[in-house]
Amino acid sequence: MRDVYLVGAGQSPFGAFPDRSYRDLFAEAYRAARDSVDRGLEAADVDEAVVGTLGVGGRQLGLSGPAVTEHVGLHNVPCSRVENACAAGGFAVRNAVQAIKSGFADVVVAGGYEVMTDLSDDVTKYWLGVSGETEWERLTGTTFSGLYAQMASAYMTEYGATAEDLSRVAVKNHGNGAKNPKAHLDFECSLEDAVDAPTVADPLNLYHCCPTSDGAAVAVLASGDVVAEYTDERIRVAGVGAASERVGLAQRDSYTGISASQVAAETAYDRAGVGPDDLDFAEVHDCFAIAELIAYEDLGFCEPGTAPELLREGRTDPDGDLPVNTSGGLKSKGHPIGATGTGQVVEAFDQLTGRAGDRQLEDPRPRYGLTHNVGGSGGASVVHVFEREREGVAR
Amino acid sequence: MTLEVASVGAYAPRYRLPADGVEEVWGQFHGAGISETAVPAADEDALTMAAEAARLALSEGSVEPADVPRLLLATTTPPLEEGAVAARLASFLGCEDTVETRTFTAGTRAGVDALATGLEGDGPALVVASDAPRGAPDDEVEHAGGAGAAAFLLTADGGGPIRGRAERTAATPGTRFRPAGSDETTGLGIAPYDRSAFTDAVAAVADDLEADLGDADAVALQSPNGKLPYRAAGPLGVETAAIREGTTVHDLGDTGAASPLLGFASALEAGGESVVLIGYGGDGAAAIAFDVGDVAVATRLEGAETLSYGEYLRTRGDITPGEPDGGGAYVSVPSWTRTLPQRHRLVAGRCRECGDLAFPPEGACPGCSAFEAYDEVTLPGTGTVEAATVIGQGGAPPEFVEQQAREGAYVSAIVALDGPAVEDGRDGSAATVSTPAQVGTVGDESVSPGDRVEATIRRIYTQEGVTRYGFKMRLLE
């Protein structure tokens, strides 16, 4: 099958923009992605579009995909919408890869968008809660923070992890996000702040939870056959993996790991021919602090129960051996549901092409980066491994 | 034939409102002779309390719910003015769909009336009286109003035969009544008129009884407050000690239709052997005399948390905002109804391929992913907490906002339900199946992984005017 390359990526700022429409945000992301393509991208070049959104608040539930792509002039380009809750944006990128590998398309625009901050508190809680298992789980009065809190309670009971261990995720990711001009919560926080914050769903406090954000992100993917028309700097989609899992937490074999992520990672590593030790950085789905700890273990960065050690030892800091969430992650950069997964790909593109500004990882510039995007409490997961091909190395 | 009492169960909610808490706010307390009243939790009502008492009675007897052909429910405070509440109780308990159900209401005598009706006919029969009277905030009915339920399992040779029965009607308009459309019971408060209506009626049925009340260890007399029953002691020809032995009014308040039946349960616990029940209300009185030497009893009447008057108003839903705008998670009533065996009785499935349990028993097997049929198994209702969180004030999703407004933070957990203890002759308890569930707490109870819990029936939430009942867990003592 043909290789697929990431030739451009861009995003709107993530944040609270209650006065902006989803089309407006998508337009900004599309413009940024288009302009990031070295030799430019014309609307006529695009064969296919795939976009992810949950449709928070019920706005434009049907045909919101074509609504955004037509808005930016991708006229008559087939567009379909992917819905996998918080993993919609990551799955949109995966669908783009499939379209190119199959030979159906040479250039595909993948993206995601969400507007969440213009809704009343009650409407937000309604929409955010219905991506879990509704008939049984939701009707115990739980919320998403409640589900991840349940996972945290099980993890802390099993491994003896502490509130400090959870809080280190916030400290690290806020430190990174403070350097990201596109981040929603672009401020640093101390460990003390993150430990003493008010409880949201015991044992999770405010600093253990990501914000709800508005935003959009877009990636442009091209086949090996046409990549040279767009850039000389080849960022290859080296591996992609995805899996589903039972939507209700209680239905699963484990509450301290997400099997969909484990399978997605194995598949992606296998296809890329690399392992976790080869990675230079990773963007993982830290919707809640416990999710980042669990991600380290699901993605094979460490053994089950040892993620807190990785954080304590600073190994996932920007100067550690595997920096995680240099963008600030969902915690600091923000979490506009449908846009999040594609937003991670934007950070991967920026890091691999040396465009990450103050956050740029150097000496040497990274070669392999991973993105990890989870839907709901783990009902869907998608992992991508990107590789910056070395100059003069033909594949 | 006339049946005998085989076993009795009694239940009261765990919240208590002390008399001085009311007096602090109103400057006086009108519930004469009452030290505190039982207050239903936000997710309790006459129906859930009835289920609690019925399960206790069944736990002491040797009759399975499926073998109960008659179910009689008495309450003056049904959760719906029209609606088949007894059928729901039958579903909670696991009665067959051939069970005869009868509902007795419209007067506090309903409990004794249901018992009198249940005693005559083929057995077994289950009679449940459950009530939580309310009145206007400064009214005597309100200050006295408590909550509780009692259930009597009746069988042909139960061990508690009746010695006599009597009934009198006396039209006494303006005594206790509740106008249509109101949830506040009231009365004209004409003290001498009310008092003689009570005393005359109960004395008349006592007179009609062939048994001599003076020989009874306890007289379980209707107790709208803690004073009136004692005033009737003289006309009845009994010692006040016998009245005291047969009432729970001092600690639970006025329990309406359940009052004499709860008094009976309490007298049984105290070791009484001869007990007379006298119900009053709904214009008349009814009495039944029992020998109860051999009747088993199980009660759950202890209070666990004292409420301030403000907390009481909140718990009752008097000062809460109601369902918020903006919509909530929607589970249609027909689809909820399809899952009643699971919501009410924890009916799970056993996978025919791998033998694992599945709850609910639908879709692919959680153990082996086989997409085949399940064999039905009913779980015993106990389990172990695997993961838990506390949804703090303000954090509830819209459909649980009212519950949270009434009761504050609540626990949402994952519970590994125990498998059936004995199934096909083997011990099946080692296998568990997990479900999300709320775990109710009172006082300073907290919930952590590893805690043992048991299922009970509660109101889950109300949407479109329809209350969905289902299981919630509580900590095992």
Q: What is the 3-class SS of B253-314, one letter each residue?
A: CECHHHHHHHHHHHHHHCCCCEEEEEEECCCEEEEEEEECCCCEEEEECCCCEECCHHHHHH
Helix (H) or strand (E) holding B17, with range, is strand B15-18
Structural domain contains residue B259: yes
**pLDDT tens-digit profile of A101-138?**
999 999 999 999 999 999 888 888 888 777 789 999 99
Query: Same domain for B127 and B185?
Result: yes
Distance separating alpha carbons of residues B273 and B267, to the nearest angstrom: 9
Given B281, B316, B351, the domain boundary residue is: B316
For the domain that residue B78 is a member of, what is the CATH number? Answer: 3.40.47.10
Beta carbons of B132 and B147 less than 8 angstroms apart: yes
Residue tagged active-site, from A184, A208, A285, A335: A335
Total length of chain B: 477
Q: Which residues of A touch B435 (CB under 8 A)?
A: 136, 250
Return mean pLDDT, chain A. 96
Query: Same domain for B227 and B342?
Result: no
Chain A residue nearest residue B472, CA to CA: A140
Among the residue ranges A5-19, B330-344, B413-427, B431-445, the one predicted with the least confidence is B413-427
Region A304-324 average pLDDT: 98
Beta carbons of B352 and B375 less than 8 angstroms apart: yes
User: What percent of chain A is modeled with pLDDT above 90?
Assistant: 92
Higher pLDDT, A180 or B366: A180
Distance separating alpha carbons of residues A344 and A335, to the nearest angstrom: 10
Domain count, chain A: 1
Q: What is the pLDDT of residue B425?
A: 61
Structural domain contains residue B429: yes
Q: Which residues of B touch A161 (CB under 8 A)?
A: none
Question: Which region, left, alpha or beta, applies to residue B289 given φ > 0 means left and ψ of -120 to 50 means alpha?
Answer: beta
Q: What is the pLDDT of residue B429?
A: 59
CA A197 from chain centre, in angstroms, equals 25
E strands along chain A, which residues?
4-11, 48-52, 79-82, 107-114, 199-202, 204-205, 215-223, 235-244, 281-283, 368-375, 380-388
Q: How confident is the model at residue A395 (pLDDT cuts 50, 70, 90)?
A: very low
Helix (H) or strand (E) holding A295, with range, is helix A289-298
Mind telling me how many Å the CA of B386 is from chain A's nearest CA?
A: 7
Domain count, chain B: 2
Q: Quote the domain boundaries for residue B198.
A: 4-316
Find residues 425-464 of chain B whose CB sits inside 8 Å of chain A: 434-438, 448-450, 460-461
Mind telling me how many Å the CA of B326 is from chain A's nearest CA?
A: 5
| Sequence letter at residue A220 | V
Q: Strands B15-18, B70-74: parallel, antiparallel or unpaired by DSSP?
A: unpaired
Q: Is B460 within 8 Å of A139 when comparing Cβ atoms?
A: yes
Query: Same domain for B163 and B276?
Result: yes
pLDDT at position A393 over 60? no
For the domain that residue A337 is a member of, what is the CATH number? Answer: 3.40.47.10
User: Which residue among B398, B414, B460 sits closest to A122, beta carbon to beta carbon?
Assistant: B398
Total length of chain A: 395
Q: Which of B412, B468, B474 to mutate to test the interface with A (most CBs of A within 10 A)?
A: B412
**pLDDT tens-digit profile of B126-166?**
999 999 999 999 999 999 999 999 999 999 999 999 999 99
pTM: 0.94
Structural domain contains residue B88: yes
Asked about A71 being catalytic, the answer comes back as: no
A360 touches chain B (CB under 8 A): no
Query: Same domain for B430 and B293?
Result: no
A140 touches chain B (CB under 8 A): yes
Question: Which region, left, alpha or beta, applies to residue A329 given φ > 0 means left and ψ of -120 to 50 means alpha?
Answer: left
Region A156-166 average pLDDT: 98
Q: How confident is the model at residue B423 (pLDDT cuts 50, 70, 90)?
A: low
Chain B residue nearest residue A130, CA to CA: B329
User: Which residue among B325, B326, B396 sits closest to A141, beta carbon to beta carbon?
Assistant: B396
Structural domain contains residue A373: yes
CA A247 from chain centre, in angstroms, equals 19
Beta carbons of B292 and B273 less than 8 angstroms apart: yes
Return mean pLDDT, chain B. 94
Mind telling me how many Å the CA of A90 is from chain B's nearest CA?
A: 26
Do you find a cis peptide bond into B124, omega within 30 degrees of 0?
A: yes
Q: Quote the domain boundaries for residue A31.
A: 4-118+211-388
Structural domain contains residue B325: no
Q: How confident is the model at residue A316 (pLDDT cuts 50, 70, 90)?
A: very high
Distance separating alpha carbons of residues A101 and B444, to the nearest angstrom: 59
User: What percent of chain A is modeled with pLDDT above 70?
Assistant: 99
Q: What is the pLDDT of residue B427?
A: 61
Query: Same domain for B158 and B132?
Result: yes
Higher pLDDT, B137 or B327: B137
Query: Same domain for B94 and B31?
Result: yes
**pLDDT tens-digit profile of B11-65?**
999 999 999 999 999 999 999 999 999 999 999 999 999 999 999 999 998 899 9
Residue B107's SS3 state is coil
Q: What is the pLDDT of residue A58?
A: 80
**pLDDT tens-digit profile of B229-286?**
999 999 999 999 999 999 999 999 999 999 999 999 999 999 989 999 999 997 899 9
Query: Same domain for B232 and B368?
Result: no
User: What percent of chain B is modeled with pLDDT above 90?
Assistant: 87
Tokens linked to B88: 């729901």
Beta carbons of B19 and B308 less than 8 angstroms apart: no
Chain B residue nearest residue A126, CA to CA: B328
Asked about A86 being catalytic, the answer comes back as: yes
Q: Which one-letter DSSP state was computed for residue B443?
A: T
From first CA to last CA, the distance across chain B in angstroms is 40
Structural domain contains residue B105: yes
Q: How confident is the model at residue B322 (pLDDT cuts 50, 70, 90)?
A: confident
pLDDT at position A394 over 50? no
Query: Same domain for B140 and B282?
Result: yes
Distance separating alpha carbons of residues B265 and B151, to the nearest angstrom: 9
